[in-house]
Structure formats: structure tokens, C-alpha cells
Copies of this chain bind each other. A is one copy, B any other.
């Protein structure tokens, strides 16, 4: 499954180059993860309330072309790998047919009280299977 989120560039997201500051793309990726999980019928905040967190381990962004204030963008997200202890997402940011940025994040799966690794399959085997069955390849 590949989810699609609509982002309209905020004025505050621009910098003195008059383009979107690069630190906003990871924030948009996060918006896309929230939507991805929601598309599976799960609210990420419910998972956190149940004691499950997904802090970042790795982030990478490849910036191809700038985005501008008021641009309407599509941010796609897909899970490209999941193990009992980690998940990987891949993202694209596009304006119409033009690809502006791609990115990846890798997340640890941890207990929200101890910040220690937890086994997602033991935590919620249905959720694990749901995520696993929706894994996609990068095009």
C-alpha cells in the first residue's frame, strides 16, 4: 500500500532562499506516516497510548528540485521493510508530475516507558501482519 498526503507549503516553511527549508521534508514525511497508519485503520496516537513508539534511527533525503510557498504537493509513503524490532519507510514529494524529493526513514520499535526495544509481533501480532502484508518495493 502506498499512501498519499496533500501538503500545501506554509509561508513559515520557506527560508531566505525563497524555497522550502530542507528541515521541513522530514516533518512532511511524518505527516505521511500518520496518514499511512490511518489508511490501515489505526491511529498512531492510539499506538503510543498503548505503549508503543517508533523513534527514528536513520533519516535520508535526496533533494531534486525546490518547493515554493503555496505549492500543492503530494507526499507518498510506503513501508519497504519491517522486522520485529524495526520499520523502514520510503517517501516521495511531488508537485504534479515533477519529483522534488525522495527520502527514507528507519525506526526502532520501543516501549514508550523504558525506550527499550520491543517485539512488535508480541505487542500486537495483527498489526505486525497488517504492516507486513502491505510492504511495497521502491519503484
Whether, in the assembled complex, A130 has its beta carbon less than 8 Å from a beta carbon of chain B, the answer is: no
Contact of A58 among B31, B58, B60 (CB under 8 A): B60
Known: A10-B31, A34-B70. 5 other contacts (CB 8 A): A15-B16, A22-B26, A23-B30, A55-B63, A56-B63
Convert A1-43 into 0s and 1s, putting 1 for each residue whose CB lies closer than 8 angstroms to a CB of B: 0000000101110111111011110110011001000000001
Given known contacts A43-B70, A57-B63, A70-B44, is B11 in contact with A12 (CB within 8 Å)?
Answer: no
Given contacts A14-B15, A16-B11, A26-B26, contact A69 B45 (CB under 8 A): yes
User: Please, how many angstroms separate the alpha-carbon atoms of A44 and B14 in the complex?
Assistant: 14
Q: Chain A at the B interface: mostly helix, strand, loop or mixed?
A: mixed
Given contacts A10-B30, A18-B16, contact A63 B69 (CB under 8 A): no
Chain A residues within 8 Å of chain B by Cβ, number: 39
Instruction: Provide a sorted-by-A list of 15 A–B residue pairs whose CB atoms are within 8 angstroms.
Output: A11-B34, A12-B15, A12-B21, A12-B23, A12-B27, A16-B18, A16-B48, A19-B55, A23-B23, A44-B69, A44-B70, A45-B69, A57-B62, A58-B63, A59-B60
Mark A residues whose CB is within 8 Å of B: 8, 10-12, 14-19, 21-24, 26-27, 30-31, 34, 43-45, 48, 53, 55-63, 66, 68-70, 112, 115
